[in-house]
Amino acid sequence: MAATKKKPESINGPYVINKPREGWTLPDIHEVWQFRYMLAQLVDVELRARYKQTIMGVLWAVLSPMIMMVVFTIVFSRLANVPSYDIPYPIFAFAGLVPWTLFSKGLAASATSIVASAAIIGKVYFPRVLVPLSKVFTGFIDFLLALVVLFVMMLIYGFLPELRGLSVIFFALLAMLAAFGVGLWLSALHVRFRDIGHLVPFMVQALLYLSPVAYPSNLLTEPWRTLSGINPMVTVCDGFRWALLGLDTFHAPTVLVSTVVTLLLVISGLYVFQRLEDSFPDLV
């Protein structure tokens, strides 16, 4: 039984202490960084798995906002005569749909992500916050593809990119953070209350109509315009149109409100997520 014991050449890894956790804490940024490969792997897996056994494959990332654009053009522009700042409605709608898809997909996928990942969560340790985060990043990859199509459409409709176009980086980040913040709240609560799973599709639907995706936001007057910034997607959609289509939709107070709301969502979401994290393996 007693085999000769040779000392292993290299032992990596420090001490880990597993003890009860109390109070409200934030995820350990250092630890999350150590697990960055895992984040990349989760995104990779999600992308690979999503398009298995499909014919169009990754083209779906581009097709879904385009189909929505066609539907919106028919319904809102042709039938309902929704104004679009005197620019062609298809490009107007698409410029809103691309960031909207980034937000809505990230939100919907991250909200149910913990329960959907039950198989790994009960079997191996890693910072759980990577799960909703990876869903938001996955949506970002799709977004980059859709963005290329948006640029092509801009050229077709004769919109040349200006310097302020670079600000889409900020607006895209805002959309991702908002999706992540709501996703943190919902995914943590979803573990205990499965009702969230039924609620999310309606929430996304409702938010679509509450955000200026299919219609312009200049229909609102003050103070409602500033207050509408509580929904970060108002700022994001307006921001994209301002940055890329040269429309006069930039409204600083709204941007400020949205940014504050988004940061509050993310920070509170992180606390709540971390607080409930320990119950995940027992409840999923």
Partner 1 sequence: MTKPEYVIEAHNLSKKYHIGATRETHQSLQQVMLNSMLMPVRRVASMRRSSLPTDADRELWALKDVSFNVKRGETFGLIGVNGSGKSTLLKIIANIVRPTEGYVQTWGRIGSLLEVGAGFHQELNGRENVYLKGTVHGMSRQEIDEKYESIVDFAEIHEFMETPIKRYSSGMRIRLGFAVAAMMRPDIFLVDEAFAVGDMAFREKCMQEIEKIRSEGHTVLVVSHSMGHIIRLCERLIWLEKGRTVAIGGVEELANEYLDKTVGRQEKALREKRAAEREKAAAETEAKRRAEEAKKSAEAEATQPAEPESEPEPEQPIITQQKGFFQIERYNPDKPMKLHSVRLMNNDGDLIDKIDIAQPFRIQVEYEIMQAAVGHLIVFINQYPSKMRVLAIGDTDTAPQRRAERKPGRYCAELEIPAWTLNAGAYTLMVTLGVPYVGVHDRHDDVIEFEIDDENSSRREWYSKGPRPGVIGIDLPWTYHDAEPV
Q: Max Cα separation, the chain?
A: 84
Among 60, 85, 126, 170, binds partner 1 (CB under 8 A): 126
Among 66, 87, 120, 141, binds partner 1 (CB under 8 A): 120
Binding part of the chain for partner 1, among 6-14, 135-143, 155-163, 240-248 by CB under 8 A, reads 6-14
Nearer to partner 1, 79 or 119 (CB): 119
Phi, psi (deg, nearest 5) at residue 21:
-115, 140
Binding part of the chain for partner 1, among 11-19, 69-77, 166-174, 202-210 by CB under 8 A, reads 11-19
Q: Is 161 in the site for partner 1 (CB under 8 A)?
A: no
Nearer to partner 1, 6 or 221 (CB): 6
CB 134 within 8 A of CB 39: yes
Angle at 12 between CA 8 and CA 17, to 5 degrees: 115
Return the DSSP state at 228.
Answer: G
Tokens 């042709």 correspond to 78
Count of chain residues binding partner 1 (CB under 8 A): 38
End-to-end CA gap in the chain: 40
CB of 206 to partner 1, least distance (A): 21
Among 55, 163, 222, 282, binds partner 1 (CB under 8 A): 282
Reading the block at residue 84, the tokens are: 């679009």
Q: How many CB atoms lie within 10 A of CB 47?
A: 15
Write the binding mask 168 to 207 for partner 1: x where contact by CB under 8 A, - elsewhere: ----------------------------------------
Binding part of the chain for partner 1, among 63-71, 106-114, 122-130, 224-232 by CB under 8 A, reads 122-130
Q: Is 81 in the site for partner 1 (CB under 8 A)?
A: no
Q: Is 19 helix (H, G, I), strand (E, B) or coil?
A: coil
Contacts with 166 (C-beta within 8 Å, 6 or more apart), sequence order = 243
Nearer to partner 1, 8 or 223 (CB): 8
Site for partner 1 in 22-51 (CB under 8 A): 37-38, 41, 45, 48-49
Reading the block at residue 136, the tokens are: 């938001």
Q: Is 20 in the site for partner 1 (CB under 8 A)?
A: yes
Write the binding mask 100 to 119 for partner 1: x where contact by CB under 8 A, - elsewhere: -------------------x
Among 1, 79, 160, 252, binds partner 1 (CB under 8 A): 1
The 3 state secondary structure assigned to 52-75 is CCCCCHHHHHHHHHHHHHHHHHHH
Angle at 221 between CA 172 and CA 201, to 5 degrees: 45
Binding part of the chain for partner 1, among 3-11, 90-98, 236-244, 261-269 by CB under 8 A, reads 3-11
Mind giving me the DSSP string for 89-152? HHHHHHHHHHHHHHHHHHHHHHHTHHHHTHHHHTT--S-TTHHHHHHHHHHHHHHHHHHHHHHH
Q: Is 6 in the site for partner 1 (CB under 8 A)?
A: yes
The amino acid at residue 160 is L
Q: Which residues bind partner 1 (CB under 8 A)?
A: 1-8, 11-21, 37-38, 41, 45, 48-49, 52-53, 119-126, 278, 281-282
